[in-house]
Amino acid sequence: MIVNTRTQVLLWTAQRTSAAVLALCVLIHLITMIYAVKSGLSAAEVLGRTRGNFGWAAFYALFVAAIAIHAPIGLRTIVSEMLGWRGAVLDLLVLAAGIALALWGWRAVWGVFV
């Protein structure tokens, strides 16, 4: 077993903490999206606001980190409960999913920053 009891509890704590971060991030994200759509901002105008803006980059980098922590831990539970699949292979797969989510997400954040 690569995930011992203490790590299982810490994963649970990380998922709870990332959920709290996500609740705030999703709210800010939705308000921003509604504002952008209502104001009729073009893609170029949105990029004009995000490029070189450390505040938005930091916010979305945090958003991506929270997703990359929260989603794989939940996926691990869903797969184990619905498919009865448990153990080291599943743990490694969801770890890979978390790393992939983080890299893709941060790549997107980088794409609208530079």
Whole-number minimum distance, CB 12 to another protein, in Å? 4
CA separation for the pair 21, 55 (Å, rounded):
16
Rule CB under 8 A: choose which of 75, 80, 93, 112 binds another protein: 80
Determine, following the binding rule CB under 8 A, whether residue 8 of this chain makes contact with another protein: yes
- Tokens 């009729």 label which residue? 40
CA separation for the pair 60, 72 (Å, rounded):
18
Rule CB under 8 A: choose which of 5, 37, 40, 55 binds another protein: 5
- Interface segment toward another protein; rule CB under 8 A; list 19-27, 28-36, 40-48, 74-82: 74-82
Classify residue 61 by its DSSP letter: H
